[in-house]
Amino acid sequence: MSQPNDFGANPYYGNGNTGGGGYLTGGSPFGSASGSPGGVGRRDALSQSLRPLNVKQLVNATQAHADADWTVENNQIGQVTVVAQIVSIQNQTTNNVYVLDDGGGRIEARHWSDSTSGGEGFDGIETDCWARVTGTLKTFGSKRYINAVHIRPVKDHMEIFFHLAEVMAVQLIFDRGPPNAHGQNVSPSAAGHASASAYTAQSNNVAAGGAFSHLPPVQRGIIEFLLAQPENEEGTHVGAIARAVGANADAISEALERLMDEGHIFSTIDEAHFRVST
């Protein structure tokens, strides 16, 4: 069954499919995918999304017009979370203003106090402490600030480094798609299940890292060995593969068959020579 390939245009799935028939499984797990049409549904999804960011990214975020969504490098953001140091706290009648600094920039966070909290701010928040602030980006006149929903002190300082790593990882996911784009819904299934159904994405990409990591170990070992060989029209002999991968002959032939069924490899000059499909 061949479906029209709408997901080819989805920015989160990079190159899209070159093979016909299969389409990528699963929608983007990030509700804030800007590829899908439909105003209201999309906005709700966006406002429910939470993006970890640095202060620098917030300071550089752009907005098409006053009521538009904020954009960080071509990706829209809904709610945001940052981990930063509190430089100063100002308790005013209607709100508390915190100036945040994470080493890469400064931004204000405002928390509107409701009548019950008496304007005292959050527990445990003092000047110079590191805190996690969650909220939405807003502007007041020309100045931008985070409208803070929640602020809590950082207890384990490794959270600072966790946040840095998360910001980087999420940015890469927006740049390149999720790490296992093809195997997202595929748990480490038994060797037999690399089934050739129309719903399994064709992993046509060259990169052994992401594209083949859903394969069982013997198959993956074969692919990695083949990819490591110098460019050769004739391909690699099955004996060399077996010696390198180290599994027994039956396991190797079965793995080779499965790989061929999937289209990952093909035989070249004879039945005993193989190359990885590109």
Site residues for other proteins per CB under 8 A: 54, 56-57, 73, 85, 101, 103-106, 128, 130, 157-158, 161, 164-165, 167-168, 171-172
Question: Rounded to an integer, what distance in angstroms lies between the CA atom of residue 161 and that of residue 158?
Answer: 5
Residue with smaller CB distance to other proteins, 80 or 245 = 80
Question: Rounded to an integer, what distance in angstroms lies between the CA atom of residue 159 and that of residue 176?
Answer: 25
The single residue listed with the structure tokens 């406002």 is 47
Question: Rounded to an integer, what distance in angstroms lies between the CA atom of residue 191 and that of residue 161?
Answer: 38
Residue with smaller CB distance to other proteins, 23 or 30 = 30
Q: How near is the Cβ of 8 to other proteins at its closest, in Å?
A: 25
Residue with smaller CB distance to other proteins, 72 or 255 = 72
Contact 245, 229 (CB under 8 A): no
Residue with smaller CB distance to other proteins, 59 or 227 = 59
Tokens linked to 39: 């105003």
Q: How near is the Cβ of 260 to other proteins at its closest, in Å?
A: 36
Encode 26-64: b = buried (16+ Cβ within 10 Å), e = exposed: eebebbbbbeeeeeeebeebbeebebbbbbebbeebeee
Q: How near is the Cβ of 114 to other proteins at its closest, in Å?
A: 31
Question: Rounded to an integer, what distance in angstroms lies between the CA atom of residue 276 and that of residue 208?
Answer: 10
Residue with smaller CB distance to other proteins, 56 or 144 = 56
Residue with smaller CB distance to other proteins, 43 or 106 = 106
- DSSP string for residues in 65-112: STTSPEEETTEEE-EEEEEEEEEEEEE-SSEEEEEEE-SS-EEEEEEE
Q: How near is the Cβ of 101 to other proteins at its closest, in Å?
A: 7
Q: How near is the Cβ of 99 to other proteins at its closest, in Å?
A: 10
Q: How near is the Cβ of 178 to other proteins at its closest, in Å?
A: 17
Q: How near is the Cβ of 97 to other proteins at its closest, in Å?
A: 17
- DSSP string for residues in 165-182: HHHHHHHHHHHH--TTTT
The CB density around residue 128, as the number of other CB atoms within 10 Å, is 9
Pairing mode, strands 79-91 and 95-101 = antiparallel
Residue with smaller CB distance to other proteins, 105 or 216 = 105
